Amino acid sequence: MSCNSCTSQERAVNLVRAMLRAAKAVIDGEPVLVGPDERKARIAMCVMCEHFQPATSTTMPTCGLCGCVVKLKARLATEDCPDNPPRWPH
């Protein structure tokens, strides 16, 4: 599914799932955030992707596949690139 057609509800569900994965990582003592070098590498891969949705006057840059804000999702060690195959190393 392309998130260009995602509803607000679908995007909210994606956000809640990401928050739950981050909370589980905290509980399990696993890393929640990636380091600055990995974050920058992830963002660079996103910007080059055909699914990348640049910022507009009213939105932040987002992923066209999942609807997530790229700069936020790229920081979370608990998140993967939704493309198949994923662009981010895990």
Residue 25 inside a domain? The answer is yes
Specify the amino acid at residue 24.
K
Residue 79 has pLDDT above 50, yes or no: yes
Residue 11 inside a domain? The answer is yes
Cis? peptide before 85, omega within 30° of 0: yes
Number of domains present in the structure of the chain: 1
pLDDT in tens, 36-71: 999 999 999 999 999 999 999 998 999 998 888 999
Model's pTM, two decimal places? 0.84
Residue 81 inside a domain? The answer is no
pLDDT in tens, 9-31: 888 888 899 999 999 999 999 99
Domain that holds residue 54: 3-73
pLDDT at 18: 92
Separation between Cα atoms, residue 86 and residue 80, nearest integer Å: 7
Residue 88 inside a domain? The answer is no
Residue 78 inside a domain? The answer is no
Residue 90 inside a domain? The answer is no
